[in-house]
Chain A
C-alpha cells in the first residue's frame, strides 16, 4: 500500500442548493485527500457543510436539488460525472458509510441478517445466500456482537443503540471497502459506548487497512482517531493539517475559538469560575455595561450552610412493565434509593448514561412524578405526597430547563408570552408590568427587549435555550433543575450558555441541579457531583475529588471513556481502555 496514492481525493468541491431566496453555498471550495489506510477528521458546527460533503462523497446528493462542481474521486471513480450504475457499484463496495443515528438507520422490518446479506450480495451476486450469511456472521463477530450466529436472526429493535451502531459498521464491512465514512457515528450514544465505537473504528482501520473519514462536531471525538483534520465553517475549510499541529497550535481564529470552547474534563470548577468571572469583568470594562443585580431585588444571594434547601431521602420510583403470560406486570425500578442534601447557592451535578435514572430523579424532585418510596423535603416542607393544589405555590420555587430547545418552546406562542405566562398564572394582572419584567429579563439573558413579540422559529438553538432560561427565571425560583441543557447545542453555543448560567448564579445566588451525560461539562459547573448508574448513586462527593480520585470502578470507567483533546493522551487512554477490557475478559 503506497501512502502516496490517495484513495479519496476532493478538489475545489462546491455544493449549491437553489432556494427561494437565491442559491445557498453549502460547501465552497473544499479540497482534501485521504491516503489508503489513512484517517481524516472533518470537524465543524451545524451548518458548516460537513454532512453535505459526506453525502456528496457517496453520491447520495443525487435526486436532491444540490448542484455540484469540482472533483470528487473515490477509489479511482469520479463521483461527479459517474453514471448512476457506476455510483451504485461504488457505494458499499469501495466506500461504506456509518450514519449518525443507529436507531433510525437500520430497517425496522427486516432481520439484521437479511440486511447484511443484502449488502454483500448486491455487489457479489454470485455468492450463495449461505456463504453471504457466513460472511455476515463473521462481520458481526468482528465488530463485537456476542453470539453472532444466533443474533443474526434478530431485528434491529432487539439491540441497544451501541449494538445497532456495531451492526451498521458490520454492514459497512460486508464488501471489504477501501474507505469507511463515519458521519457523527457516536453523537447519539453514551460516553462509554462512544469510546467503544471509536476504539472499534480505530482497530478496524489498523487491522483491515481501510481509510477512515470521521465527521464530527466535536474536536475531542476525532482527536484520538485521525492523522489529519479539516476544520470547516460556513462551507469553507478554515484550517487543514496534521491533527497534532491543528490541536496544539491552531492558526485560524475560528479553530482557536472552537478549541477554547470545548469543555475539558481536566479543568476544575474553580478554574473555570475564575476564568468566567475575569472574562466577564474584561467585557464589562470594555463595553462599559454593568449588569445591576439590584434590579432583580427578590433574588438574595443566600449564605452558605444552614438548613439544606432540598433534602432527598432514599427516594425510589418504580414503573410497571407489562409482559409475560396473561400480561402480568413486573416492577422496574428506574430510581432506587437515592439520598442527598442540597444547600442554597450550590450546584449539584448528576452524571449518568441513558437509563441511569437521572431524568426520573429530577422529575421526582419537581414532583412531576410521585416517588414510590422515600421523601423529598423542600425548605423543611415534605412535598413527597403533597396534592397538586397544595403544590401550586411551591411550583414557582422550583423551575426546570429542558434538553431540547427546539421542542420545549411552543412554536405558536411569542417569546414574551412564553416567558410571561408564568407571572400571569401566579396571579399578576398588570400587562404592562409583566412586559417590563420580561423585557428586563430577556436583556439579562443576552437577548433584545424587542424580541418580546417574536416567535421561537426566528431564534437559533442557543438563543432558544436563553429563552428557556428566562422562562425558568421569571418567577425568581429558589432551585433550577437543568436537564441536559446544553447537549443539543454546538460547542461554542454550549460554552456561551454555560457562562450565562454561571453569571446568573453569581448575580442571583441561584441553586442548580445540573443533569448531564457529559463529564467535562458537569465538572465545570458543579460543586458536588453524583454519579448515577441503573437507578442508584454509585458515588457522590466534591467534584474535584471525584474527578481526580474516583472511588468507584464505574466512575473510573466513565472517566477513561471521556474524549480528550490531546491526540497523544487520547491514544494512551485508548490503550488503557483496551487493557481494562482485556483484564475484564480474563476475569470473566
Chain B
C-alpha cells in the first residue's frame, strides 16, 4: 500500500516537471523559433515606444539573450528558491515559488493568482457538489426506472445540458432569473468571510449553470454504469439472498457503478479549479479563468504561464487524490498496485 502511494506521488511530481518544461518551451522557445528576437521579447515588458537602452537593459535583466537551457534553469531556480527583480532603482523580492512578473501590471504573478483563487475555488467546489449529487441521483433513478417517463425526460434534459454551451445557458439564466423575474439580485461577489449571504447569492447562479453542464454528463454516465452493474451476476446473488430492492441498489449496485465516476470527477474538478473561463466571464467573476483570458489578450506571457502551471497542479493533485482513494473503493486495485 505504501508502495502504491509512493509510486503515485512520484508519478504526480514527474508529471508536474514535464508540464513545467513543456510550458516553458511553448512560451519562451517557440517565439524564438518564430523569429522573435530577445529585444522583441523584452519589448513586451517595457511598454510603448521603448528606447533601445531600456530594451537592452530588460534583455540583460531577464536574461533573454541567454541560451535556452540557462533561461530554463533560471526559471526553475526562481520557482524553487524565489528571485529578485529590479524596477529602476527599486529591488523587489519575489518569494518562492516565483512565477515571475506580469508584463502589464508589474506585480508578481503568484500574488495576483492567489488573490483570484478564492473566487474560482468557491465556484468549482460549489458546482462540483451540485453536479455530483444531482447527476448521480438522476442517473440512478433513471436506471432503476428505465424506460419510464422520468427516465426519458431526464435523459432528454441531460442531452440538452451536454449540448448547450455555458454562455448560452448562463446568459439565459441571467436574463430571466435576475433581470426578467428578479428572483435573485444582480450577482455581486463578496468573499465568504466578509459577507456569506452575498457570497451565496452571487455564486448560486454560476454554480447551477456550471453544474448543469456537468450534471448532465454524470447522469448519463451513472445511468449507463448502473444498467451494466444491474445485469451482473452478483446483483442476482444479492436478490437471491432476499435483500430488499433498496439494499440491492444502494449497497450492491451503486458502489461499482460509481467507481468509474470517481475517475472522471477527479479530472473534471481539477479542470474547473484551474479556472472555469466561460462561467467566470459570463457572470463577471474575477477568478483565475477570467484572469487567464485577460492575460492571453494582453500577451502577458508570465501570467499565462502561471495560470497554466496552476491548472496543471490542480489536475495532478485531484488525480492523485482519486488514485489514492481508488484502493479504498475497489479492493481489487490493492494487489495490482
Contacts and interface: CB of A to CB of B under 8 A. Distances in A.
A562 B259 CA distance: 42
A105 B232 CA distance: 8
Given A104-B233, A105-B234, A325-B3, A60 B239 contact: yes
B252 interface: yes
Interface string B209-252: 00000000000000000000000111011111111110100001
Q: Which of B233, B240, B243, B332 has the most CB of A within 10 A?
A: B240
Contact of A90 (B242, B243, B247): B242
Given A99-B233, A109-B330, A118 B241 contact: yes
A342 interface: no
A247 to B, nearest CB: 30
Given A91-B239, A107-B237, A323-B335, 12 more contacts: A91-B242, A96-B240, A105-B234, A105-B237, A106-B237, A107-B256, A108-B234, A108-B332, A109-B329, A109-B331, A122-B244, A326-B3
Contacts of B259: 109
B151 to A, nearest CB: 15
B240 A88 contact: no
Contacts, number: 75
Given A104-B233, A105-B234, A105-B237, A93 B242 contact: yes
11 contacts: A91-B242, A92-B241, A92-B242, A99-B237, A104-B234, A105-B236, A107-B237, A109-B329, A122-B244, A157-B335, A326-B3
A445 to B, nearest CB: 35
Contacts of A101: 233
Contacts of A93: 242
Contacts of A92: 240-242
Task: Give the size category of B's interface with A.
Answer: 20 to 34
B189 to A, nearest CB: 42
Contacts of B239: 60, 91
A253 interface: no
B299 interface: no
User: Which 8 A/B pairs are nearest by Cβ-Cβ distance?
Assistant: A91-B242, A104-B233, A92-B242, A92-B241, A105-B233, A107-B234, A155-B331, A88-B242
B188 interface: no
Interface in A103-150: 104-109, 118-119, 122-123
Interface in B190-212: none
Interface string B258-285: 0100000000000000000000000000
A88 B244 CA distance: 7
Interface in A289-341: 323, 325-327
A265 interface: no
B7 interface: yes
B262 to A, nearest CB: 12
B255 interface: yes
A55 to B, nearest CB: 8
Contact of B331 (A58, A108, A123, A325): A108
Nearest to A157: B332
A122 B237 contact: no
A88 B242 CA distance: 4
Interface string B315-337: 00000000000000111100100
Contacts of A58: 240
Given A88-B242, A92-B241, A157 B236 contact: no
A87 B242 CA distance: 7
A561 interface: no
A119 B241 CA distance: 6
A473 interface: no
A74 to B, nearest CB: 12
Contacts of A327: 3, 7
Nearest to B244: A88
A89 interface: yes
A571 to B, nearest CB: 30
A104 B232 contact: yes
A58 B238 CA distance: 12
A123 B242 contact: yes
B299 to A, nearest CB: 45
Contacts of A90: 242
